[in-house]
Each structure stands twice: as structure tokens, then as C-alpha cells.
Amino acid sequence: MTDEQQRIRSYLQVQGAKLSPADVIDKVRAAMRDLRAAAEAVPAARFDETPAPDEWSANQVMAHVLDAGRHFGDQIVAVLDGVPRSDAARATPAGERRTAGAWCARLDQDRAALFERVLRADPAARLDATIEHGMFGPLSWRETLLFMRLHDLDHVGQLKQIAAALAARPA
């Protein structure tokens, strides 16, 4: 694990233990608002356009955010429910196209169900059960929920870069 990954893991552990689930949800919701604003800043007619050959379009970014949110959300719910975790993803069909608003509505719907389940949970329940993250190692459900905020914010930056690159290049 790099120093940066260790720093992020430490943040997730400290803040995941310190913040209540409701406070973490508030932070995730704020990141979701930023994500919506960044997605909507990409011109609708160019939402599927990549800023460079090896980069993602805004549509691809939002599909990834939805897929990652579903993956980690499903893992959190499985931990809270005490059921075996499945790696079967509810993946977005490859090449699915939506508007920024439609992607965000789908994300809102998925996250609303997750947040409702988290808020019904005992905040100290099943913290020994971990969810494996490829970069940050095993995380508790609370740390994983907080990670979703960081993931959204990372893609806010990516969407802003896409919008800027497309604005600098005529259609």
C-alpha cells in the first residue's frame, strides 16, 4: 500500500469510527450533490464524448459510479443483514447511455435504499465483518460507506476535467 493509500485508509478508519452513520450519510449526500452538479456541467449533447482517446466520457464515469455504488452498497447491506456476500454485480449494461439527470436519479434511488438500511442498523453492529477494497484493504461497513463519499468526490474532479476539456474543444 502506498503512503497515499495508507493516509486514505487511516482517514476512513478514524472518521468511520468517529462519525455516526447519519453523519456519514450526510457527507455522502453532499458528495452526491457535487457529483450531480459536475455531471450536469458537461454539455448534454456531448455527454457520451470522450475528451481524449484513452479517457472516459461523462456517461462512462457515471456508469462506473453507479456500478461501484451498487457493489459496495450491496456489500454493506449483506454485512448488516449477516448474510453471505455475493460478488455478483448488478452491473450497468455496457454502453448504456443516460443523461446526467437520469444517472443521478438512478444513483439517488440506489443510495436511498442503502441509507434507509444503514439508518436502521445498530452503529456498532458487525464491525468485525469486513468488505475487501482493492486499494485500501479490508474495511468495516462504516468505513466502506465513508469510502463511497471519497469515490464520488474523486469522480466529481474527473467530470469537471471532462467538462473543461470539452469546453476547450469545439463540438
Average pLDDT over residues 17-37: 98
Average pLDDT over residues 70-82: 94
Domains of the chain from N-terminus onward = 3-168 (1.20.120.450)
Q: Residue 8, Cβ neighbours under 10 Å: how many?
A: 17
Task: Give 96's pLDDT tier (boundaries 50, 70, 90).
Answer: confident
Instruction: Judge whether residue 108 has pLDDT over 80.
Output: yes
d(CA 35, CA 158): 10
Of residues 91 and 27, more confidence is placed in 27
Instruction: Judge whether residue 35 has pLDDT over 60.
Output: yes
